[in-house]
Amino acid sequence: MAQGFFEGGNAENYTIGGIRAWFNRLIDGAATPKEFEGFFDLGNVVEAPQESEKEEVEHFTAKTGTRKRDRLVTRDISEDIVLTLDELSIENLRHFFRAGTVTDVAASAGGKSVDDEVMSLTRTDTRFLRFGRNAATIVVKDLTDVTTFVLDTDYSVVEVLATGGDSWKGIKRIAAGAITDGQLVRVDYVSDIAVHRLIKPQVVSNVEGQLVLIGASDTGNEFIRHLNNVQIDPEGSFDFDDEDFSTFQLRVAILDDSDDIASEPFGTLEFYGTGFDLA
């Protein structure tokens, strides 16, 4: 297709459109002036429908006879974008879960100490330790901390899973021991910490920032949408283990930015011709 501006929707321009999105998150608790983390690519955008709403108040003439509507006065205007994403990176999911910053956790042998993990030992079923990677120094007590049960007499430690050189541990009741069927017990132990990344969900009330959308329409025309003031919230639910590609949605509420840029309260939309390859 030849490059050009303001081309119409003719058959020569039809293509498969697409959108990319970058989010610049406001640093949590940042004071004035605003401080941002920097633009981050949200990855593959499956869908990005944009919703514009307006609420109006009707005015009617007060003349004698039939009252006639003579004016519509705009009371509220709003605009939202619902992003459907399919890249379940921790950077993306922190927005869905309203989490704070991502923490990189280093490996540490025996670095995690677990106190009073409560579980019910039923029959002789194995109960998995929540942080059971190479668990050691396992102590099982009753709920009152009065009785300490005896390893290999009242309970046994078993390997639930062996993977990557690690042994994931669990415990199970020995029927002839002092632990009654279904009894609640407290378990203390230490375990290894593997390299991982960590977020803490639901610790941030509002996820705010800036958003840039770059894409191409089905007729090939390319566009850039700049949004200088948005709030992001989770939309609906998602499943880590979906039969299809797992997706999740973020609702982007576009907020009035007229205090900073009076002429652009809801950002800008730049519309180009075809062949620019903006993304």
Model pLDDT for residues 169-180, shown as the tens digit of each residue: 999 999 999 999
pLDDT at 14: 63
pLDDT category, 1, cuts 50, 70, 90?
A: very low
Phi, psi angles (nearest 5°) of residue 189: -170, 170
Q: What is the mean pLDDT of residues 201-225?
A: 89
Question: Is residue 11 over pLDDT 60?
Answer: no
Residue 259: the pLDDT is 87
- Residue 34 confidence (pLDDT): 81
More confident residue, 242 or 112: 112
pLDDT at 46 over 50: yes
What is the pLDDT, as a whole number, of residue 5? 45
Q: How confident is the model at residue 220 (pLDDT cuts 50, 70, 90)?
A: confident
Percent of the chain with pLDDT over 70: 90
| Residue 2 pLDDT greater than 60, yes or no | no
- What pLDDT was estimated at residue 10? 53
Return mean pLDDT, the chain.
88
Instruction: Enumerate the β-bridge partners of residue 209.
Output: 25, 230
Mean pLDDT confidence for 47-55:
90
pLDDT at 203 over 50: yes
For the chain, give the percent of residues with pLDDT over 90. 60
pLDDT for 277 equals: 62
- pLDDT bin (cut points 50, 70, 90) of residue 244 is confident
Per-residue pLDDT band at 13 (split at 50, 70, 90): low
Measured CA to CA, the distance from residue 16 to residue 183 in angstroms comes to: 61
Domain residues of the chain, as ranges?
A: 11-59+70-102+200-271, 107-194
pLDDT digits (tens, 9 = 90+) for 83-110: 999 988 999 999 999 999 999 999 899 9
